[in-house]
Structure 1
Amino acid sequence: MLTAELTTTALCWRIERRDGVTIALTNHDRDLMIDGVVHRAAPGMTPSAIKRSDGLEADTMDVAGALTSAAISARDLLAGRWDGARVMLFAVDWTGAEGRVELGEGLIGAVETRGDAFTAELRGASALLDRPVVEETSPECRAELGDRRCRVAMAGRRSFARLIAVDDTALTLDRVEPSANAYGAGLIRWFSGASVGLAAAIDSSDGAVIRLRSAPRIPPAPGDLVQVTQGCDKSIATCAGRFVNAANFRGEPFLPGIDLLTRYPGG
């Protein structure tokens, strides 16, 4: 496909968001049907030079394009709907001839917007090598509440509620928490309204009021249906007292820290 004297090559993108929404685009001047999926013409979409290597460095590239309401909007980008989306980039022959060249695949990382355009970083599979291989010690638990290492049963720790008042980061629900600060360090997920599909971290809760760690990127409204999930402050006291799960605590709360080595004699 790429060795002919006159090439008929079109670049294509297939983007799969974490909420299941998938869009397919091409830089060709008309729509293309590829593998049963219509790739919409989006000539404004352009990839940067693709960096591929056989070393251990992380492969990265940039995808730039115009913000359009039909494909990718500034509102959705700023709200985080495209964070972590899976992107597949490939080249095809737009005349319909067989042949396909895989150019890259990865997850969307940092996103920047400038006016009516955006640039998204695409991190390849080798970017996973940047993560730590061995865990460091910490006084707090390194597991997430309810995961396979924590093993706390989450059945009954998630509840649906309606928002009855919104005040910046403070949201008032139509139900009261089951215990003091039960939703602190937890998660709220929207099931209706302008923020549907998005989630936010909860800082603390008090009765029917929960406070978010930061203001929602898309302001919610009273009447929105949400799901609130209980959280954990990752301390051994909470793990043992509230969850009765000290046997699965993944931290070292009694391990002496660096301050022990810096104490002066007699201190």
Structure 2
Amino acid sequence: MKEALDIADDLDLGGIEYVKADMEKIIAELIALINEAEDDGLISTAQADPLRERLEILLAYLVKGGEKLTTVELLVDEAMGYLDDAVLTFIHCTYDETGGSCGDDRDGSEDRRVRTIKKGLGEAERSLRKAIKAELRILEDLKYMHANLALFLIQFLREFPTSPGRMPTGSEMELVPEQLALEKLTIAPNPVDKVVRFTAVGQGIASIKVEIFDLAGKQVYASGFAAGGTLKWHLVTSQGELLANGVYLYIITVRSPDGRVLRSRVGKLAVLRRTGPPVPSRRDDLPLRG
């Protein structure tokens, strides 16, 4: 019972509601921006519809999350009701004016009020455990939806003008696949502990550039172009700080001798530093888009 009560003290329904409301606001603003871009002729209806559909699916999941939050609140209220009943019964039992104790039945059996207290505590614990499990499921759902929304924003930012320090748009790059071709990009190791090597394989590659972003789309590192098709990175940000453990996004850009460029699709890189000996990691061979 103590464990359930301790966890119940940490229930932060207001915090979950805040995150949910924040995500709903972002989705609404994105839909409005897509509609405006469509009205201004910046994107076609064929481009806008899939974007709106993905956002509306996320919004529907958030609405369901709100319904689950109501369930959690009801379960907590139910648990508190059972506890109140148990406490009132206990107080009445303790200060019984007859002078007898709660367990003093003539036949030696347990007093009915004691059974009421035990039952109330048991029901309260069950309700709290259900509430805790429900809230944990909501938190997992929100984490999943937040990651999906972040990835959507990454793709979205590639299609619309952005400010410095944000992800570049597709229109900012001139793609000439017939003169500059990428066949494969290798990132090793991934997950990475100390140093990661990016290798681009293809035709006409004279130099390579790596950009790293967090899941919100903020750039944390940009290498600048380096000669050849391979670049090593020691997990240090552009500000000279050691990168924290977590999942990041990367974009690789290669350049031909005459200055033409070609970008990879967005990929994921996991940073996982270990205190023990280095553990062998798998290699990610990712096909690239022109």
Shorter-chain TM-score range: under 0.3
Structure with greater strand share of residues? 1
Larger Rg computed on CA atoms: 2
TM-score of the superposition, structure 2-length normalised? 0.26
TM-score of the superposition, structure 1-length normalised? 0.28
Structure with greater helix share of residues? 2
